[in-house]
Amino acid sequence: MTKTSVLWFRRDLRLQDHPALAAAAADGRRVLGVFLADDVPLTASGAPRRAFLAAALAALAESMDGRLLVAHGRPATAIPRIARSVGADAVHVTGDYGPYGRRRDAAVAAALADAGIDWVATGSPYAISPGRVRKGDGGRFAVFTPFFRAWTQHGWRGPATSGSGVDWVRPADADGVPAHDPAEYARTVPSGMTLPDAGEGAASAAWESFMADRIDAYDQDRDRPDRPGTSRLSVHLKWGCIHPRTLLAELAGRRSTGAAAYRRELAWREFYADTVFHLPASVWTSVDPVIQGMRWDSGATADERFAAWRTGRTGYPYIDAGMRQLLAEGWMHNRLRMATASFLIKDLHLPWQRGAEHFLEHLVDGDYASNNHGWQWVAGSGPQAAPFFRIFNPLTQGEKFDPSGDFVRAYVPELRDVPGKKVHRPWELDGGGPAGYPEPIVDHAEERAEALRRWEAR
Ligand SMILES: Cc1cc2nc3c(=O)[nH]c(=O)nc-3n(C[C@H](O)[C@H](O)[C@H](O)COP(=O)(O)OP(=O)(O)OC[C@H]3O[C@@H](n4cnc5c(N)ncnc54)[C@H](O)[C@@H]3O)c2cc1C
């Protein structure tokens, strides 16, 4: 009799280059594909991320001729029930290396063992699974540069062959499991927000267009928010609509400095996941206690300033454009993520966790490792972080990376008629800034000095 496996999809919403799918379908096994709506990660995800997930699931279901079971429940009870209902003898997954995922998977594997069903984890959402790249003495790499060297030397497998000819089990065969309609998440997208196309096809299209037009100039253009210089693949990587090994295999054939720079950025993603694997508490706690004892602001004025930052009304056009890009697209350019984070921590004197939470609420690519360690990089508390006393100047950053002001004008309509780079300092215009756009809520020079005083006094 043909045997049946369950493939439990999590952050691997694709069919190509999917080692766990290849393992589940080996030897002509039938496969039931399942996505489980689990309240723990779902309630921790903001509305944009949930809406993107719904669209990615719809695309995945379509590529499986509709044979994707989307169910709702607690993993440790629902997954064994689903497996039993189709007589599966194994549940296959892509390994999850985050703190919650590891705890959840241990509980599910134990429940399956009780039911006599195998648990098989194959691969990870990374080129090299977190925890595998180690120093000579077996310890973790605390600094990116040697990690990057060892990661490159370690190497990774080529893309897996998977996806075609799978004998998918009809979801209707899995009786007694509450089905779930993820389309309801799509209705919660904040009005005015446009999300990127989701699914494996959209991910491949984004990658192909980047490889065709932008990869070789990536090292020069990646710092320019006014240009479409980056790949916009973070959201697809987040949900596994494409695997980094697929990207690395194609990059291997490209010798340009742009391709080398891109490979290095992918390695940052892997480094942060590796750090979180070794130090799960580092998601919300500073890795380096260097900023311990710093004085942070709280109270009504701090809350008002936080609200101005969140809504893109600080009076600093470059910062406001970044924050409004986040609200409009669920994505923000990397230079802006750094500048807006620096502004929150060092101009408004608020703890990095407050900003990280806001980003996670709105980013479609929101990821605990990359986001919270990105924040710690800016705060000076992360591994190989920028030192705290490196304080981004919101004016000169804008003038340098958005020299003609096009980025600001695209996201701050009040400033749309201000020509050229003057848009970065609207208060210097004859007659003052345009009506409706706020005055700067703080004076950068003063707050910079204040941040340095607090740093010295910690
Ligand atoms: C404060 C802050 C918060 C961030 N939050 C997130 C987040 O939640 N999710 C997320 O994926 N990235 C995050 N980043 C990293 C980076 O900003 C985004 O990955 C990048 O802007 C995504 O756009 P892209 O795909 O066009 O990037 P590209 O420039 O095309 O880069 C290619 C890929 O490399 C990886 N990458 C690039 N830069 C970094 C980086 N600094 N750290 C880790 N991986 C990187 C991403 O997977 C990205 O998709 C954050 C950075 C900072 C400073």
| pLDDT-wise least confident of 118-122, 177-181, 270-274 | 177-181
Nearest CA to ligand 1 atom 2: 374
pTM: 0.97
How many residues does the structure list for the chain?
Answer: 458
Q: What is the mean pLDDT of the chain?
A: 95
The model's confidence at residue 191, banded by pLDDT at 50, 70 and 90, is confident
Atom of ligand 1 nearest to the CA of 366: 8
Q: CA 332 to CA 363: how far, in whole Å? A: 8
Residue with CA at minimum distance from ligand 1 atom 38 = 265
Ligand 1 neighbours by CB, cut-off 6 Å: 222, 230-234, 237-238, 265-266, 268-269, 272, 334, 337-338, 341, 359, 363, 365-367, 370-371, 374-375, 377-378
200: left (phi over 0), alpha (psi -120 to 50) or beta: alpha
Between 334-342 and 317-329, two packed helices, what is the crossing angle to 10 degrees? 120
| Range of weakest confidence among 20-24, 204-208, 289-293 | 289-293
pLDDT tens, 246-285? 999 999 989 999 999 999 999 999 999 999 999 999 999 9
SS3 383: coil
Q: What is the pLDDT of residues 389-442, one digit of tens each?
A: 999 999 999 999 999 999 999 999 999 999 999 999 999 999 888 999 999 999
CA of 279 to the centre of ligand 1 (A): 20
CA 333 remoteness from chain centre: 12
What is the CATH number that goes with domain 1-123?
3.40.50.620
Q: Rounded to an integer, what distance in angstroms lies between the CA atom of residue 17 and that of residue 162?
A: 6
SS (H, E, C) 207-220: HHHHHHHCHHHHHH
pLDDT at 412 (0 to 100): 98
Q: How far, in Å, is the centroid of ligand 1 from the Cα of 235?
A: 9
Q: How far is the C-alpha of 116 from the C-alpha of 119, rounded, in Å?
A: 10
Q: What is the DSSP string of 250-312?
A: HHTT--SHHHHHHHHHHHHHHHHHHHHHH-GGGGTS-SSGGGTT-----SHHHHHHHHHHHHT
Which one, of 292, 295, 286, 285, lies nearest residue 452 by Cα? Answer: 295
Q: Of all protein residues, whose CA lies closest to atom 49 belonging to ligand 1?
A: 234
CB 269 within 8 A of CB 245: no
Question: Is the CB of residue 409 less than 8 Å from the CB of residue 392?
Answer: no
CB contact at 8 A, 404 and 421:
yes
Q: Where in the chain is the domain with CATH 1.10.579.10?
A: 289-457
180 pLDDT band, cuts 50/70/90, is confident
Q: Quick one: average pLDDT of 318-342?
A: 97
Characterize the bridge pairing of strands 4-9 and 30-37. parallel
Q: Which residue of the set 334, 361, 414, 447 is catalytic?
A: 334
The CA distance from 281 to 328, in Å, is 31
Query: What pLDDT is recorded for position 449?
Result: 97
pLDDT-derived band at 187 (thresholds 50, 70, 90) equals confident
Per-residue confidence (pLDDT) for residue 185, from 0 to 100: 80
Beta strands in 101-182 (DSSP E): 118-121, 167-168
CA distance 201 to 212: 16
State the average pLDDT over residues 123-152.
97
**Which residue ranges does the chain devote to CATH 3.40.50.620?**
1-123
Is 414 annotated in the active site? no
Is residue 334 annotated as a catalytic residue, yes or no?
yes
Instruction: Kindly state the average pLDDT of the residues 341-357.
Output: 98
CA of 234 to the centre of ligand 1 (A): 6
CATH architecture under which domain 125-159+200-278 falls? Alpha Horseshoe (1.25)
Beta strands in 10-140 (DSSP E): 30-37, 68-72, 90-93, 118-121
Residue 183: the pLDDT is 81
Q: What residue spans in the chain does CATH classification 1.25.40.80 cover?
A: 125-159+200-278
- The CB-side HSE value for 253 (13 A sphere, CA atoms) comes to 5
Residue 188 has pLDDT above 80, yes or no: no
Q: Which fold has domain 289-457?
A: DNA Cyclobutane Dipyrimidine Photolyase, subunit A; domain 3 (1.10.579)
